[in-house]
Amino acid sequence: MRTLASKHTILLAAASATLTATSAYAQTPGVDLGPSGSSITLGAAALAGIVGLAWQTLRAHGKSRRAADLQEEIDRLEALLSASPDAWCGWSPDGTHAISPGFAGLLGIDRCDRLEDIETALAPSDAAALNGAFGHLRRTGQPFRIVVTTADGGRVLELSGSRGTGSAGGEKFDVLWARDIGHITGEITRQTQARTAALQTLEEIRAMLDRVPFPIWLRRRDLSIAWCNKAYADALDLTRDEALERQSELVPASLDEPRRSLAERARTDGAARSETQHLVIDGARRLIEITEARWPRPQRYRQPCWSATRST
C-alpha cells in the first residue's frame, strides 16, 4: 500500500507539473513557435493524458488489490468458522444477520432470520429461557449457556450466547452457538438409572440383613464401623445411628484384649478369624461366637469391605 501511495504522489505531481508547463508555454507572448508549434502543444496535452490514464489504471489496480485482500480475509474467517463443531447464527446491532449452513437444520426449521424463528422450534419453557438470556446478552453483553429441548422432544441442545467485538472495538456481533448433546444426556440418563437401581438393591440388602436375628456389621479400611444391622444395635441397647456415631463395639475393650484385635488379625491374615466370648444380651449372659471376615473386594473399589457376624 505504501508503494502504491508513493507512485500515486509521484504521478500526480508529474501530471500537475506537465499541465502547468504546457499552459505557460502556450500563453507566452511574442514567441514564434513556427509550423511545429501546434505539434508541441498537442504533444504536451497527450503526455498529460497518458499520465492521467496511468494514474487511473494504478488507482483501479489498488482498489482491486484491496478488494482481493479483503476477500482473502473473508475466506480465512469463513474457513475458521466452518471448522467449529457448533452451528451458529448471530445479529449485529444494526440488524445484520449471519448464519452457518447447518443451524436451521439442527433445529428442524426451514429458515432462521429472527430469534423468534428459533424459539418456535423449542419447548415453550426453553423458548422463554432463550428469549430472556439472549435479550440480556443484547443489552449487556453477558454470555450465557442453557440446555434446551426441541419442540418435538427429538433433540437436546446446548445453546451458548456470546458477543464478538472487532479489533478496533467498533463492530459488535451477538452470536448464538448450538450443539447437539443428546448422546451426552442419554449417557447421563443411563448412569442415573443404573445408580438408582444400585441404591434400590442396596436398600433391599440392608432390609434383608435387618431381618437376620444376629448382629452383622461392616467395617471400613481403618476398621471403624460403617454400618450395622438392627440386631447389632439392639444388642447394645442403642439405635443404629447412635451405635455408628459412638463407634460402639459388640465386645468391650479390656486390658488383656484390646478392642478390634480380632478384626486386625483378620485384616493381617486375609482370612476369617473367630473367637468365643461371654456377653450379656437382652439381660441374659450368653456364650457367642464372633467372626470377623474380609469381604472379596471388587477391583474398582479402593476401600476393602469388612463384615462381622455373631452366632449363638
pLDDT digits (tens, 9 = 90+) for 173-226: 899 999 999 888 788 888 888 999 999 999 999 999 999 988 899 888 888 899
Checking if the pLDDT of 149 tops 60, the result is yes
Would the pLDDT of 16 be above 90? no
Domain that holds residue 176: 85-180
| 74 and 94 both lie in a single domain | no
User: What confidence tens digit (pLDDT) does each residue in 268-280 have?
Assistant: 887 888 888 787 7
Q: Is residue 186 included in any domain, yes or no?
A: no
Are 60 and 92 contained in the same domain? no
Cα distances (angstroms) measured from residue 153 to each of 26, 101, 126: 87, 23, 12
Closest C-alpha to 149, from 174, 125, 114, 184: 125
Residue 283 is placed in which grid cell?
Answer: 439381660
> Does the predicted TM-score (pTM) go above 0.85?
no
The pLDDT confidence band at residue 94, using thresholds 50, 70 and 90, is confident
Which of 46, 80, 114 terminates a domain? The answer is 80
Q: Is residue 189 part of a domain?
A: no
Please give the mean pLDDT across all residues of the chain.
75
Confidence grade of residue 49 (pLDDT, cut at 50, 70, 90): low
Q: Is residue 190 part of a domain?
A: no
List the helix and strand counts (H, then E) for the chain.
Answer: 9, 10
Torsion of CA 38, 39, 45, 51, to 10 degrees: -170
Distance of CA 77 to the CA centre of its chain: 22
Q: Is 216 in the same domain as 304? A: yes
State the pLDDT at residue 20.
33
Q: Are residues 74 and 14 in the same domain?
A: yes
297 in any annotated domain: yes
Number of domains in the chain: 3
Instruction: Decide if 53 is inside a domain.
Output: yes
Decide if 155 contacts 180 (C-beta within 8 A).
Answer: yes
Q: Does residue 168 sit in the same domain as residue 149? A: yes
What CATH number is given to the structural domain containing 102? 3.30.450.20
Rg (CA), the chain: 44
More confident residue, 286 or 54: 286
> Could you read off the pLDDT of 232-261 as tens digits, one per residue?
999 888 999 999 999 988 877 654 455 568
What phi and psi, each to the nearest 5 degrees, are found at residue 78? Answer: -65, -40
Domain identity same for 64 and 132: no
Please state, in angstroms and rounded to a whole number, the distance separating the CA atoms of residues 179 and 177.
Answer: 7
Same domain for 99 and 74, yes or no, is no
Q: Is residue 273 part of a domain?
A: yes
User: Is the per-residue pLDDT at 267 higher than 90?
Assistant: no
> Taking residues 35-63, what's their average pLDDT?
52
Judgement on whether residues 227 and 163 belong to the same structural domain of the protein: no
